[in-house]
Amino acid sequence: MTAAKPLTVLIADDTKTDRMILESIVKKEGHLVVSAENGVEAIEVYNAVRPDIVLLDVLMPELDGVGAARAIKEAAGDEMVPIIFLTSLNDTDSLVRCLEAGGDDFLSKPYNRFILQAKIKAFSRMRDMHTTMRKQRNQIQLNNDHMLQEQAVAKQVFDNIAHSGCLHASNVRYFMSPLAVFNGDVLVGALRPSGSMLILLGDFTGHGLPAAIGAMPLASTFYGMAHKGFSLSDILQEINQKLKSTLPIGLFCCATMVEMNFKRNYVRVWNGGLPDCFVYRAKAGTIETVKSSHLPLGVVGGKDFKDDSCYLELEPGDRLFLWSDGIHEARNASGEMFGEERLVSVFDKVSDGEVIFDSILNAVQKFAGEGERDDDLSLVELSMVTPNNIAQLQDHYGSTSARGLTEWSLSFEVKAGSFRYFDPLPLLLNIVQSVPSLRKHGGNLYTILAELYSNALEHGVLKLDSALKKSADGFLKYYELRTERLETTTGSVTFGIAHKLTSEGGVLTIQVKDTGDGFNYKKYQRKDGNLTYSGRGMNLLNDLCRRVEYKGNGNEVEIEFVWQDDH
């Protein structure tokens, strides 16, 4: 009868008779035997041979079994070495000492061959299991280390994308776990060139890397667009589209996005899937809620996605509170959730808006208990106060190219030789549209530029009379003359275009001057400066522009095109 796998068994006993008997029993099972006559020798042999199982007599000279067991267990470290004490001990104290020293079992005299064989088999199996477990545990540990390292790298990438934010603005307070992005929570904030602030708090479905992956395109889209002056709805549309097209179905992002306009004291709030956010009115000490009225980001694409936001007028000192569901779902020891009622009662208890933020955190942490600090907790407070570090924040963007072209002017002259071959309109339209908010007005801007240019070229430089076009013959004549005069003209058309931002949006000014004779515009001029004259596409221009003004002897015209934020 031999075991499947021979083990090495250490037998330590100072009585030679007993040792001999044990050696025979163990050898009969097919195992290898190493022996020791006292505790010190047992430790030496253990260290030299590293046996699989140790049989230790309790009473031995030099060092007894208890001392030897301690030393062997310590030397074994992580490895499992079953120690079986050999004894006929009949007092409990000694048994307890043996167990405390790391003894796993006892074998009493007289030795029974079958019992010993059964014990060795059982411990051999246990040892194998332990070895497997240790291997798996080490593998898990390794995998976990690896994952943490990957997370650190991923977090670094995310931070690099998100670093340009304005979350350190003096009117923003937030609490988020440092690794929140791996819980699916993401917070981004930026100032638009106009000085209004955009904040987005998102909560992706799931945890870990899948949740963090979605945060990357969200953050890069947000920052890329906010700094260029895109509006809340433009950014939401773009993020939604990006998430919808890149994330697998089932992965999406509940989010609240806020725009704060400090000059006109209003906020716009869009909530898709996050708990109601609270508006704290400082004077009255009351709260209003902004409910989620949209699907989360990344669920539906195209026209099904709705970007309409809730408009609220605030007063300086009012505060907005945003949160992911981590606060509502924080649980106490008995599994109960914090819930909205407790959240509301925090607001009821405070008399000073300043302390709400800390009161909420304290209440949640007290409720959940110290041991159960939830990593999912995300809280953001936005105060309706122009950040006192706004200049510094805006400077920060100014130094990056991300801000885009928003304040500029140009002068552009088309000279005689170019009229026949070159159309300046696409080039100018392209430059004008470098202002993001002007992009959606491309059609109107083209119309304006085209009208102004053809007036300047045809009536100014080429001195063609629009009255000609009233008859069919005249029409033909008009174009013959146009072609003819283009060959010989020496005139030019000069554009002066400028754009600047205002608190509501921006103003585009276009001046066009030609080398022609002009016309007597003064007789058509109304009190407001606009003309009642209906030639030269004036109706259209008056319709599209805030101001159309002729200057000089009528060879110069200046128009203003105004755009508003978010409409």
Tokens standing for 8? 């090495």
Does 241 interact with other proteins (rule: CB under 8 A)?
A: no
Long-range CB contacts (within 8 A, 24+) of 425-434: 425/449, 425/450, 425/453, 428/495, 428/497, 431/405, 431/497, 432/497, 432/499, 432/508, 434/404, 434/405
- Min dist. Cβ of residue 377 to other proteins (A): 16
Taking CB under 8 A as the binding criterion, the range among 223-231, 250-258, 310-318, 482-490 that sits at the site for other proteins is 250-258
- Min dist. Cβ of residue 110 to other proteins (A): 4
User: Binders of other proteins among 166-195, rule CB under 8 A?
Assistant: 184
Does 294 interact with other proteins (rule: CB under 8 A)?
A: yes
Which C-beta is closer to other proteins: that of 113 or that of 281? Answer: 113
* Beta strands 266-272; 253-261: pairing state: antiparallel
Which C-beta is closer to other proteins: that of 252 or that of 357? Answer: 252
Binding mask 201-240 for other proteins (x = CB under 8 A): --x-xx----------------------------------
Does 542 interact with other proteins (rule: CB under 8 A)?
A: no
Looking at 195, 217, 229, 272, which residue binds other proteins (CB under 8 A)?
272
* Beta strands 505-514; 547-551: pairing state: unpaired
Does 302 interact with other proteins (rule: CB under 8 A)?
A: no
Looking at 88, 132, 138, 503, which residue binds other proteins (CB under 8 A)?
88
Looking at 6, 24, 311, 411, which residue binds other proteins (CB under 8 A)?
24
Does 472 interact with other proteins (rule: CB under 8 A)?
A: no
Q: How far apart are CA 161 and CA 147, in angstroms?
A: 21
Which of 182, 184, 186 lies closest to 199, judged by CA? 186
Which of 70, 62, 69, 74 lies closest to 86, judged by CA? 69
Which of 526, 556, 532, 562 lies closest to 544, judged by CA? 562
**Where is 141: in which H helix or E strand?**
helix 113-162
Looking at 193, 214, 275, 353, which residue binds other proteins (CB under 8 A)?
275
Taking CB under 8 A as the binding criterion, the range among 291-299, 387-395, 468-476, 554-562 that sits at the site for other proteins is 291-299
Does 107 interact with other proteins (rule: CB under 8 A)?
A: no
Q: How far apart are CA 210 and CA 216, in angstroms?
A: 11
Which C-beta is closer to other proteins: that of 287 or that of 425? Answer: 287
Taking CB under 8 A as the binding criterion, the range among 20-28, 123-131, 255-263, 281-289 that sits at the site for other proteins is 20-28
Does 249 interact with other proteins (rule: CB under 8 A)?
A: yes
Backbone dihedral angles phi then psi of residue 534, each to the nearest 5 degrees? -105, -5
Please answer whether residues 537 and 453 qualify as being in contact, where contact means their C-beta atoms are separated by less than 8 angstroms: no
* Beta strands 505-514; 492-501: pairing state: antiparallel
Backbone dihedral angles phi then psi of residue 408, each to the nearest 5 degrees? -160, 170
Which C-beta is closer to other proteins: that of 43 or that of 255? Answer: 255
Taking CB under 8 A as the binding criterion, the range among 11-19, 30-38, 471-479, 554-562 that sits at the site for other proteins is 11-19
Does 308 interact with other proteins (rule: CB under 8 A)?
A: no
Does 18 interact with other proteins (rule: CB under 8 A)?
A: yes
- State the number of binding residues for other proteins (CB under 8 A): 38
Looking at 3, 5, 28, 395, which residue binds other proteins (CB under 8 A)?
28
Please answer whether residues 548 and 559 qualify as being in contact, where contact means their C-beta atoms are separated by less than 8 angstroms: yes
Which of 195, 189, 188, 186 lies closest to 229, judged by CA? 195
Residue whose pair of structure tokens reads 């945890």 in the numeric block:
207
Distances (CA, A) of 241 to 175, 249, 256, 387, 427: 28, 13, 16, 32, 29
Taking CB under 8 A as the binding criterion, the range among 121-129, 287-295, 411-419, 509-517 that sits at the site for other proteins is 287-295
Taking CB under 8 A as the binding criterion, the range among 9-17, 159-167, 227-235, 475-483 that sits at the site for other proteins is 9-17
- Min dist. Cβ of residue 54 to other proteins (A): 18
Q: Does the N-terminal peptide bond of residue 193 adopt cis geometry, omega within 30 degrees of 0?
A: no
Among the residues of 247-355, which ranges form H helices?
A: 339-349
Looking at 6, 30, 250, 426, which residue binds other proteins (CB under 8 A)?
250
Does 432 interact with other proteins (rule: CB under 8 A)?
A: no
Does 299 interact with other proteins (rule: CB under 8 A)?
A: yes
**In this structure, how many other beta carbons lie within 10 angstroms of the beta carbon of residue 436?**
19
Give the 3-state secondary structure percentages of the chain, helix then strand then coil, rounded to 5. 45, 25, 35
Does 37 interact with other proteins (rule: CB under 8 A)?
A: no
Which C-beta is closer to other proteins: that of 41 or that of 203? Answer: 203
User: For the purposes of burial, counting CB atoms within 10 Å of the CB of 390, is it exposed (0-12), middle (13-18) or buried (19 or more)?
Assistant: middle
Does 59 interact with other proteins (rule: CB under 8 A)?
A: yes
| Chain residues in the site for other proteins (CB under 8 A) | 14-18, 20-21, 24-25, 28, 59, 88, 109-111, 113, 184, 203, 205-206, 249-252, 254, 272-275, 291-296, 299-300, 325
